[in-house]
Amino acid sequence: MTEIERKFLVLNDTYKTEAFAQKRITQGYLNSEPERTVRVRTKADKGYLTIKGESNASGTTRMEWETEITLADAKQLLAICEKGIIDKTRYEVKAGNHTFEVDEFYGDNAGLVIAEVELTDENEAFEKPEWLGQEVTGNERYYNAYLSQKPFTTWK
């Protein structure tokens, strides 16, 4: 139930040609407080309910619990979520022994592309693709819960 991940901005769209999978994702938050976010997500034809705890000081590690729910249930829960639904396409890209999840955002977050890599240890080494940009791990502005409330297109 522990998630360890690092986040990066993306420099260009060459990740798209390297992707082995892609799925459209819609997600909303029943609770977007950093101490405990409760997320509802549809990914392709499935639904998910996820609870995340507060991140540690470095922003790399936090408690995460997720369960699959029906697509119909997910759609009903999305209807009662807080304002600010996230719409994105997730590309999965293999780099060395890891898979990067690259999210291209739409709507109020259009123009933002973030890559995440999940690790088994905070200090685990990983291959960095050439399209990987500045690290934003721990910067709350790049958390989806934050983006749902304060979208990228509204940043100064």
What is the 3-state composition of the chain as percent helix, strand, coil, each rounded to the nearest 5? 15, 50, 35
Residue 29 bears catalytic tag: yes
Pick the catalytic residue: 15, 29, 91, 142? 29
Query: Tokens 């293999």 label which residue?
Result: 94
Query: Tokens 């409760």 label which residue?
Result: 38
Q: How far is CA 42 from CA 76, 118, 135, in A?
A: 11, 20, 27
- 23 vs 43: CA distance, rounded Å: 6
Q: Partners of 40 in the beta sheet? A: 28, 49
Strand bridging mode 113-118 / 132-135: unpaired
> Is there a contact between 66 and 27 (Cβ–Cβ < 8 Å)?
no
Annotated catalytic residues are: 29
